[in-house]
Amino acid sequence: MLACREQLQSASRRVTAAGGNFDSRSTSANVLLPEDQFHHIFGFLDVVDVIAVSAVCWQLNGWCRLCQTLDVTQDVGAVSLAKLLRLHPDVTDVTVRSAPRLSAAGYAAIAAVAPQLSRLRLLNARAVADAPLAAFARRNLSALTVLELSGTFFTRGPAMLRVVCAAPNLTALSLDGFRHLRDEDVSAVVAALPQLESLSVADCTALARLRVAAPALTALTVARCVHARALLLETPALTALDASTCTKLSADAVDGAVAACPALRRLVLRGCAGLAALRIASAELRELDLSCCGALASVALDCPRLARLSLDMCMALRSATLALRTIHTLDLSLLPVEALSIDAPELRALNLRSSYRLHDAGIRCCAPSLQLVDHCGTHITAGVFGGGARSVAHNGMLLQWMSN
């Protein structure tokens, strides 16, 4: 980084010595840095160095003006951030990953350029109340299609709704970590966004009975909403639902949510500790994650297109009978099961790692297409899988297995 900085500063000194500036194009060719060299070193410079060097190097300044995507990974103050945004007048995509350090002035600096943005991401924010976001509500954000806010927000629903109303063309919205966001607030936000296709309200711990009516919505994330007991969905186009670690979600709530989403292809219920007996019926479901559901003792699946199933670390399961005609990948690792029956003609990969109670006598497996088995940490021998298995994992390594 030091060498890169010295090269840029050296070029800047040559420009200054020649009487040039960043608006001039009359500087001799020996001042120019090769384009590939600029590409290599630009990302390694500190924000302060970029600002300082661009003040005297027309080449760097000109390149900054061409940039449309700005990803700030360093901690920057409000003054430096404002200068950086002015240095990129045509920017349309801004990501600030150091949002914990942003002051009200920093949010105001971003709001000043917000009308020209199509994407805005403020990540890892900390203790943000209503006031910092008020500057966005006063702008015309009709060009904005993606808004991602994550961290710890104490912004209340009405203040967030005013921001959303200023951006009516949003297609993707993430409000992760909004501690005071209530069920009715989310419903109002969704109602104000007719084109919304993706919504995340992860870590919104005040949500209890979430109602979402969005005909265009295809992806919904409610992960870690630990007080959510019901998902009242009117989302006919939804294809992906992530409700992982919603510890109070009941089996009836899951059944209702799945029934309301006829196009659902991916369902994540990882770590839902309130699920004990579950029945899932879905004509389109391809991927189901039930891992780490510690109370889950029985599962009934009516999913004729299911291709991937994860049941790892479901510690209440004692036996499993799986007749899955279309399954390709099956994860049954870290289970206390003693009896296992698998009828899966399309199964390619089976993970039984550390299911320590399994023995050959407790397994019935009909999987003629099986190619990979991981049975590390078990008492199982490869022969129990018949001639279908082509390779097995043993002690963490893949070994070719030949049938007798």
Distance CA 293, CA 314 (A): 5
Distance CA 391, CA 276 (A): 35
209 with 232: CB under 8 angstroms? yes
Nearest to 204 by CA among 231, 234, 227, 188: 227
- pTM value is 0.82
Domain assignment present for 55: yes
Mind listing the pLDDT tens digit of every residue in the chain (404 residues)? 434 444 444 444 433 333 333 333 333 344 455 555 665 666 666 655 666 666 666 666 676 777 788 888 777 777 778 888 887 788 899 998 877 677 888 889 899 999 999 999 999 888 888 888 999 999 999 999 999 999 888 989 899 999 999 999 999 999 999 999 999 999 999 999 999 999 999 999 999 999 999 999 999 999 999 999 999 999 999 999 999 999 999 999 999 999 999 999 999 999 999 999 999 999 999 999 999 999 999 999 999 999 999 999 999 998 888 999 999 999 999 999 999 999 999 999 999 999 989 888 889 988 889 988 888 888 888 778 765 445 554 444 443 443 33
Angle at 95 between CA 98 and CA 160, to 5 degrees: 90
Distance CA 309, CA 273 (A): 18
Q: Which helix (H) or strand (E) holds 398?
A: strand 397-400
Domain assignment present for 116: no
Sign for the CA dihedral angle at 279, 299, 329, 272 comes to positive
The pLDDT score that the predictor gives to residue 128 is 86
179 with 200: CB under 8 angstroms? no
Domain count, the chain: 1
DSSP string, 180-191: T--HHHHHHHHH
Domain assignment present for 354: no
Q: What residues have CB less than 8 Å from 114, skipping those under 6 apart? A: 120, 136, 139, 141, 144
Instruction: Provide the H-helix boundaries in 25-129.
Output: 35-42, 47-54, 58-66, 78-87, 104-113
Tokens of residue 309, six digits: 């199933």
Q: What is the span of the domain harbouring residue 52?
A: 1-66
Distance CA 110, CA 136 (A): 9
285 with 304: CB under 8 angstroms? no
Domain assignment present for 14: yes
Domain assignment present for 25: yes
Domain assignment present for 281: no
Distance CA 172, CA 345 (A): 39
Half-sphere exposure (Cβ direction) of 23: Cα atoms closer than 13 Å: 0
Per the listing, tokens 């088995």 go with 373
Domain assignment present for 125: no
Distance CA 121, CA 290 (A): 30
Domain assignment present for 191: no
Tokens of residue 136, six digits: 């966005």
